[in-house]
Amino acid sequence: MDLLACTWMTRSLGEAVASVALEEDDSVLVGGWNGTLKRWDEKGDLLWSAQLNDRINDLALGEDCIIATAGLHLVCLERSTGDVRWSHALEGSADSTLLFQDIVYAVSSVYDIEHNDFIESAVWAFDLNGDQLWVNRMDERPWTMLAHQDSVWLGLGRPKCGFATLDADGALEHQKEAADSPVTSGSACEQRLLFGHANGTVSNHSSEVILVREHGIESLDCFEHGWALADESGSVCSFDEQGNERWCLEGDAVEAHMKGFDSNGKATHWIARWSGVSGYLVAVDG
């Protein structure tokens, strides 16, 4: 089935899409590769459009503001109008952002072309007025940043690997995991916090190994009654709360996946795949 044939609304950003966020009032935020940010309401009417410096990799939503990473910059915009409230250039690329307990967190990284690796990363904290609270620099690149149980959690690459917690003052507490492998992904929900590793391990925030797969874990999705993973082989697998496998589907490379809405009383799970030539979307019973 052609995806466009079964959609009730389509809107054009005018450039390749880099990030999407769905708001509680069903409005949609979309960020582009060239820095365009647009907001549509639930009827598809354009509320506003803003132009930022560069590709919008990540979005975080506040009560009256939107936080975006745009190339080197971390940008705060008014949620109702799209006007820029403040903007800060970080060191290297602005990779991800998180708004937690009225503090804006952001991860930046510096990539060295000669070494073909990241040479330094940093976690930044700003208040909602844009004043910098602190910056914590480190050798490891945080590949995932999550909020769980009143703390901010970082999943780290080499050399330390494992994960670390940050408090509101920027104090970092590192914990080595049983899986001595870089953390590549993570997901948090009320019931659990999981990390995926380059060697195929899935662990929790208590450093317990949940399972080990043959291929590296690319993404995780936690939800109320279980969780799901996607690995480098193109497999997407769903598990219950006890870690028992519900189903596992093989296919082309997974670009994204997540639990969706209920349909006819059954949960759904949505998987976006890329064949190398074309992309397609798969919806399965969750």
Query: Does 250 fall in a domain?
Result: yes
Select the more confidently predicted residue: 195 or 176.
Answer: 195
pLDDT band at 255 (very low <50, low <70, confident <90, very high): very high
How confident is residue 263, by pLDDT bands cut at 50, 70 and 90?
A: confident
Final residue before a domain boundary, out of 107, 139, 171:
139
- pLDDT(178) > 80: no
Asked if 31 and 132 sit in the same domain, the reply is: yes
Rounded CA-CA distance 77/67 in Å is 6
Q: Which residue from 141, 155, 285 is spatially nearest to 220, judged by alpha carbons? A: 155
Task: List all residues 6 or more positions away from 1 whose beta carbon is below 8 Å from its beta carbon.
Answer: none
Average pLDDT over residues 239-263: 94
Task: Kindly state the average pLDDT of the residues 59-75.
Answer: 98
C-alpha–C-alpha distance, residues 144 and 193, integer Å: 12
Please indicate, yes or no, if residue 80 is contained in any of the structural domains.
yes
Which of 115, 139, 163 is the last residue before a domain boundary?
139
Enter the tokens of residue 250.
């093989």
Residue 146 resides in a domain: no
For residue 64, give the CATH number of its domain. 2.130.10.10
Number of independent structural domains in the chain? 2
The pLDDT of residue 1 is above 80: no
> According to DSSP H, which parts of 65-200 are helical?
none
DSSP category for residue 232: T
Residue-wise pLDDT for 147-176, tens only, equals: 998 899 999 998 889 899 998 888 899 987
Given the structure tokens 């979309």, which residue do they identify? 30
Environment class of 53 (CB within 10 Å of its CB; exposed 0-12, middle 13-18, buried 19+): middle
Range of the domain at 221: 151-286
Of 139, 167, 182, the domain-final residue: 139
Q: What is the per-residue pLDDT for 3?
A: 58
Give 79-131 pLDDT, tens digit per residue. 999 999 999 999 989 999 999 999 999 999 997 777 666 778 999 999 999 99
> Does residue 38 or residue 140 have the better pLDDT?
38
Same domain, yes or no, for 58 and 180? Answer: no
**Pairing between β-strand 117-127 and β-strand 103-112 as defined by DSSP bridges:** antiparallel
Nearest to 183 by CA among 232, 216, 222, 149: 216
DSSP 49-90: EEE-SS-EEEEEE-SSEEEEEETTEEEEEETTT--EEEEEE-
Arithmetic mean of pLDDT, 20-41: 96
Phi and psi, residue 4, nearest 5°: -65, -25
Residue 18, pLDDT above cutoff 60: yes
Mean pLDDT (the chain) is 93
Any domain includes 79: yes
pLDDT for residue 159 = 87
pLDDT at position 73 is 98
Q: How do residues 131-152 score in pLDDT, each as one tens digit?
A: 999 999 999 899 999 999 889 9
Q: What is the pLDDT of residue 275?
A: 95
Using CA of residue 70, residue 216, residue 279, residue 257, what is the dihedral sign? negative
Domain membership flag for residue 21: yes
In whole angstroms, what is the distance from residue 115 CA to residue 112 CA? Answer: 5
Residue 195 lies in a domain: yes
